[in-house]
Each structure stands twice: as C-alpha cells, then as structure tokens.
Amino acid sequence: MTSPLSSFESQEITCFEIIKAAYALSENELEIMMCIKNIQPVDIKGIAEIIPKDRATISRSIQRLMGIGVVRKTKINLERGGFKYLYSSMSVEELKTKLMELIHRISHNMKIAISNLTEKKCKEVFEEVRTKYSSK
C-alpha cells in the first residue's frame, strides 16, 4: 500500500519509503531491488535463494525494476552452452540523482497543478461526478 503525501511530513520518513512511493513499488519489488543491489550481479536463482518467491514472481518484479531503470540485465554465455541473465542495479549515487530529479519534476508539476486550482475547476469536477452517477 502506498502512503499518502501527508505521511511524508513526518521526520521519520526513510529513503525506502520515498523510493516505494516515487516508483509505486510493492514491498516485494523493493526487497528484490535491495537483494540485487547487495549481491550483484545475481541471477533469478540467486535471488530466490534469499527471497522465497517463485521465479515468475521474481522475474515480473525484475521486469518492473528494469522498466523504471533501476536494474540492468546482462546476458552471459555459459561454457557448457546456453546463456543466463545476470542483474545489477545502479549505484547509490545514481539512484540518489535519479530520485532527486524525479522529485524535482514531480514537485514542479504539483506546484503548477495547485496554482491552477480554481472554484470553477472544482465545480467542473463536481458536475462530472454528478453526471457519472445520475445515469445509473
């Protein structure tokens, strides 16, 4: 479950709560991200040895983490033939920079949206709600 923005007023906020909220990560995705960060490079089997989840669940989480750019995949050719993928994460400094840039963009967009709030827009939203439920 994600936290409301007002929960971030607390002095007890952690960077991990910010990461989860900024990227809408599940607890499972955050755990897999931290596993990759601390034992990289690692394959899905190595993650499954630490986090007792099925390979499909781990794979979906990794795909999500790659999609937001915090995990990278490298294809390794095996000596006996075939291949496997190893996963690694960005450095802490890269993650901090990425988060700071994201928070800055979000903050900027929120300030614009707030400055555009008017009584007229509130009434328009109310009318949309009324229309939505009056047809039922």
What is residue 136's predicted lDDT score, i.e. its pLDDT?
61
What is residue 30's predicted lDDT score, i.e. its pLDDT?
95
What is residue 3's predicted lDDT score, i.e. its pLDDT?
59
What is residue 116's predicted lDDT score, i.e. its pLDDT?
94
Q: What is the pTM of this model?
A: 0.76
Can you list the residues of the chain whose pLDDT is less than 70? 1-3, 10-11, 135-136
What is residue 2's predicted lDDT score, i.e. its pLDDT?
53
- Considering the domain architecture, whether residues 114 and 52 belong to the same structural domain is answered as no
How far is it, in rounded angstroms, from Cα 69 to Cα 24?
13
What is residue 74's predicted lDDT score, i.e. its pLDDT?
95
Query: What DSSP letter does each residue of 8-56 carry, written as one string?
Result: GGSTT--HHHHHHHHHT--HHHHHHHHHHHHH-SB-HHHHHHHS---HH
- Considering the domain architecture, whether residues 60 and 82 belong to the same structural domain is answered as yes
Residue with tokens 């707030």: 114
- Considering the domain architecture, whether residues 102 and 57 belong to the same structural domain is answered as no
Q: Which domain holds residue 8?
A: 1-90
